[in-house]
Structure 1
Amino acid sequence: MTELAKAQLIQLDDDFKKEKPGGEKVSVQFNPETLKVTFANQLVQPQGGDQAAGNTGRQFVGAGTTKLALTLWFDVTAMTEDAVDDVRRLTQKVIFFMTPTPDKADAKKMVPPATRFVWGSFLFDGIVEGLEESLEFFGTDGKPLRAQVSLTIGQQKILTSEFKGDGKVPSSPGQKPMSQAKQGDTAQSMAAKNGQSDWKGMAAANGIEDPLRLSPGQLIDVRAGAGAGIGFSAGANIQPPSITPPKFSASASVKIN
């Protein structure tokens, strides 16, 4: 069984090229339900044009931006290992990526950590621009046990995703595209809907005993048996005709006068 991939927040070096040695790395407790990616262009006001008439001339853009918004959940009551008594012990690891630190080039300036959010094949590098934490469940001693953390990560460019290969999913044994029969469907009508002419071969390949009466909801592989049912009726048992060879006599009768 394939192990569930966990989303992670990883601290990068200052040039956003690789993971920072000894930097922070946090695996989320629960994977987010959705990832919202927003693209925006920075519009530059053109010079000239009749603005009073609504004509502002040709539009130009500056650097584009891409933002990622997601929500993470933390719940100490759901922890089975290394349980803690306060959910903020977990969320403070996420808040780290929002906390500015002195810049190496100029100690008087504060910069937030370079951050990478990665989940499976999805990767987003940027800076945490906003964070909102909601404490939603409390124990009898008043300690928060559950929290919702909303993050916004931004980068100063338009994000382009890169993929390897053609992206086609290899076929697996036992996995076939199935179509569901509706009320009144027949093997012939289902084959026609899917561009198949050999409905007899399809019926035979699917083990359909009565091609004129399909059960509503019945799953059928409409591509099965294509070209294999010519001159064949589903459920029929056709045997080649038996041929009896002619009998010949090897004896001869000769009459001598």
Structure 2
Amino acid sequence: MSKVLLLAVFLSSLLPAETLRVMTFNVRYPNPGDGANVWSARRDLFVETVKANAPDVMGTQELFYEQGQYIVEKLPGYAWFGVSRRGNHEDEHMGVFYRKDRLRVVDSGDFWLSTTPERAGSSSWQMSLPRMVTWALFEARNGGAKFLFLNTHFPHRDVDEAARVKCARLLAGRIGLYEDDLPIVLTGDFNAPAAGGAYAILSPLMKDAWKELHPAREEGTFHGFRGTPRADRIDWILYRAPWKVTSAEIITTHNSALYPSDHFPVLAVFELP
């Protein structure tokens, strides 16, 4: 091996590895009944939480259009996209945010968790509300590497367990349609613990970023603006890719009794090959 090539190999080993920072964050819709934690009171703390953790891509749930617009107004390095679960901008979105300097959207779209996935606003399985997935095919601006990103919010009631299983089956079928070598990331509020029916369907197909680093530990993510979460981790970051998880955190940022949301966000950092 020539000295020039040896030097190039040595220098490349000193460069920091390429990383991808992924966050899932249930925003909590702007409910006027949230008292001290109404959106107008916590929105700047929400923005600061995102800014401090600097995700390259973030899947949100319960996002209203005005919330999405406020976030990108305050964080102009980000863009976001998505439609509401009714197929317009008049309800909750599964909004996807991304850093414009790091990622480019190649393609994007939405489908519904129902027996008619392409019909906007459709709902099945006795769910009380339409549920959906917003997705994008991203390309890294620096080198052209592509990955598929999906973001969702499963039904929330105790009686919806069978529906959550059907949602997971539909998602698993969609994921199975893609080429095996395409990296895929799935974020969401699954309204179920990282065990049980829905998780059992998705976990054979995708790794759980949290469990890659914390295989024997669980922490809750929903806390209802109280700061003390329930036992179950219902917000997940799953992935199918030859990537290494270097960090997986549940972010508990707050300012006294003020919280950015009623869920703690989850952040995973991936080292890309």
TM-score by length of 1: 0.20
Structure with greater helix percent: 2
TM-score, normalised by the number of residues in structure 2: 0.19
Bigger relative CO (Cα 8 Å, ≥ 6 apart): 2
